[in-house]
């Protein structure tokens, strides 16, 4: 990558174009211009003295990739929070009748709201729908023996049913059990991996037991102690 090429690219627009439904999806030529501009700026900072154009390009490419990944994760986080809010609202509206279909309907209704909002791609909506579904399923598994003691962070989205009658909670226990059975093998793991999107909570490294906490929905990082990548919600 010559300095001249980078300089020419620096004059081009560096704004990414957006794909359909509000997602930032720079096409290959636009991403290349972004990298070229960043590489040119690196050379400019040292007044074009010394350095290696290829090293500048590779460093700029890593910088652009990191920036785009951060933008993508932020979009996913926002979509997850919207999905979470919609599912919570749907569960709040449940009265006496509750079944496995009630839970599935809450997820499908929330997913439809996000798709119709036009702010996210279908892939993003599908991804956060599966993430919220997984959180619900893992919470349901953990609550199975103690629905009558439903409370606090451990209740997750089902916290909206706190204070309901003993009879309702009994039906809720049966409903979530039926729903989990219907999910079957689709709930592949009851653990989370680094980089995975999930709701707020505390997560324990499956390798060393070190914990990390998310105060709000986000993407899990690697274990700071052992660089492990698999976690259990605690």
Measure the CA dihedral 81/119/137/101, to 10°.
Answer: 120
Token pair 């972004």: residue:
34
Phi, psi for 193 (deg, rounded to 5) = -115, 155
Cβ(102)–Cβ(124) below 8 Å: no
Distance between CA atoms of residues 30 and 155, nearest Å: 45
Q: What's the pTM value of the predicted model, to 2 decimals?
A: 0.80
Instruction: Kindly state the tokens that stand for 57.
Output: 């390009």
Token pair 């079944």: residue:
99
DSSP 2-71: -HHHHHHHHTS--PPPB-GGG-B---HHHHHHHHHHHHHHHHHHTTT-S--HHHHHHHHHHHHHHHHHHH
Extents of the domains making up the chain: 3-72, 74-189, 191-234
The pLDDT tens digits along the chain (234 residues) read: 444 444 444 343 334 444 444 555 689 999 999 999 999 999 999 999 999 999 999 999 999 999 999 999 999 999 999 999 999 999 999 999 999 999 999 999 999 999 999 999 999 999 999 999 999 999 998 888 788 877 777 788 999 999 999 999 999 999 999 999 998 856 656 899 999 999 999 999 999 999 999 999 999 999 999 999 999 998
Q: How far is CA 201 from CA 18, 22, 137, 142, 213, in A?
A: 33, 29, 15, 14, 6
Distance between CA atoms of residues 30 and 219, nearest Å: 27
């Amino acid at each position: 990558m010559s300095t001249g090429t980078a300089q020419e690219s620096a004059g081009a627009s560096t704004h990414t174009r957006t794909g359909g439904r509000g997602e930032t999806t720079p096409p290959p030529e636009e991403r290349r211009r972004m990298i070229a501009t960043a590489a040119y700026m690196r050379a400019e900072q040292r007044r074009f003295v010394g350095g290696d154009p290829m090293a500048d390009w590779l460093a700029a490419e890593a910088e652009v990739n990191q920036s785009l990944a951060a933008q993508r994760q932020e979009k996913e986080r926002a979509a997850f929070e919207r999905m979470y809010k919609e599912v919570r609202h749907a569960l709040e509206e449940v009265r006496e009748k509750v079944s496995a279909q009630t839970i599935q309907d809450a997820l499908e209704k929330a997913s439809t709201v996000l798709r119709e909002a036009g702010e996210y791609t279908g892939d993003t909506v599908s991804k956060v729908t599966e993430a919220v579904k997984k959180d619900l399923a893992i919470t349901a598994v953990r609550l199975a023996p103690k629905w009558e003691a439903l409370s606090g962070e451990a209740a997750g989205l089902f916290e909206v049913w706190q204070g309901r009658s003993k009879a309702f909670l009994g039906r809720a226990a049966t409903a979530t059990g039926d729903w989990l059975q219907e999910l079957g093998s689709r709930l592949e793991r009851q653990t989370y991996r680094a980089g995975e999107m999930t709701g707020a909570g505390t997560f324990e490294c499956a390798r060393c037991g070190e914990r990390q906490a998310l105060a709000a929905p986000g993407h899990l990082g690697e274990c700071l102690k052992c660089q492990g990548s698999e976690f259990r919600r605690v």
